A and B are shown apart, each in its own frame.
Chain A
Amino acid sequence: MRYVLFVCNDEADQLTSEETEARYAAYVACEDEMRARGALITRERLRPTSASTAVRVTNGDLVIADGPFAETKEQIAGYFLVEAKNLDEAIDLARLIPAAHHGTIEVRPVWDM
Chain B
Amino acid sequence: MGYVTTAQFAVAEAFRTEWGKVVAHLIRVTGNWDLAEECAQDAFTKALESWARDGVPANPAGWLKTTARNRAYDRLRRESLGQAKFRQLAVTAPFTGDAGADADDSGIVDDRLRLLFTCCHPAVAREAQVALALRTLLGLTTVEIARAFLVGEETMAKRLVRAKHKIRDAAIPYRVPPALQLPDRLVGVLAAIYGLFNEGYGASGGVELIRVGLCDEAIRLGRLLAQLMPDEPETQGLLSLMIVHNARRRARIDSSGELVTLEDQDRSLWDGAAINEGCALLQTALGQPRRGPFTLLAAIAACHATAPSPGETDWVEISRCYDQLFRMSPNPVVALNRAVSIAMADGPASGLALVDELEESGELSDYYLLPATRADLLRRIGRMPEAEAAYRRALELVPTAAERRFLERRIAEINEEG
Contacts and interface: CB of A to CB of B under 8 A. Distances in A.
Contacts of A91: 123
A109 B169 contact: yes
Interface string A88-110: 10010000000000000001010
B55 interface: no
Interface stretch (B170-178, B332-340, B370-378, B399-407): B170-178
A87 B170 contact: yes
A12 to B, nearest CB: 28
Contacts of B121: 87
Nearest to B168: A109
Contacts of B173: 85-88
A107 B171 CA distance: 11
Contacts of B170: 87, 107, 109
Contacts, number: 21
A1 interface: yes
Interface in A1-39: 1
B96 interface: no
Interface string A50-91: 000000000000000000000000000000000001111001
B181 interface: yes
Interface in B225-282: none
Interface size class of A (residues with CB under 8 A): under 10
A91 B169 CA distance: 15
A88 B123 CA distance: 9
A47 B337 CA distance: 52
Interface in B169-223: 169-173, 177, 181
A88 B176 CA distance: 11
A88 B181 CA distance: 10
Contacts of B177: 88
A59 B169 CA distance: 34
B337 to A, nearest CB: 33
Interface in B319-366: none
B231 to A, nearest CB: 23
Interface in B86-128: 121, 123
- Most B Cβ at <10 Å: residue of A85, A86, A88, A107: A88
A88 B171 CA distance: 9
Nearest to B172: A87
B169 to A, nearest CB: 6
A85 B123 CA distance: 16
Contacts of A87: 121, 123, 170-173
A107 B172 CA distance: 12
B56 to A, nearest CB: 40
A68 B145 CA distance: 42
A31 B175 CA distance: 28
B172 to A, nearest CB: 5
Contacts of A1: 171
A86 to B, nearest CB: 4
Contacts of A85: 171, 173
- Most B Cβ at <10 Å: residue of A85, A87, A91, A109: A87
Nearest to A108: B170
Contacts of B181: 88
Nearest to B178: A88
Contacts of A86: 171-173
B250 to A, nearest CB: 43
Interface string B156-174: 0000000000000111110
B115 to A, nearest CB: 16
A30 to B, nearest CB: 20
A68 B4 CA distance: 68
A86 B177 CA distance: 12
Contacts of B171: 1, 85-87, 109
A101 B123 CA distance: 18
B297 to A, nearest CB: 29
A95 B173 CA distance: 18
A67 B177 CA distance: 43
Nearest to B177: A88
Nearest to A92: B181
A1 B171 CA distance: 8
Interface of A: 1, 85-88, 91, 107, 109
Given A87-B172, A88-B173, A88-B177, 4 more contacts: A85-B173, A86-B172, A87-B123, A87-B170
21 contacts: A1-B171, A85-B171, A85-B173, A86-B171, A86-B172, A86-B173, A87-B121, A87-B123, A87-B170, A87-B171, A87-B172, A87-B173, A88-B172, A88-B173, A88-B177, A88-B181, A91-B123, A107-B170, A109-B169, A109-B170, A109-B171
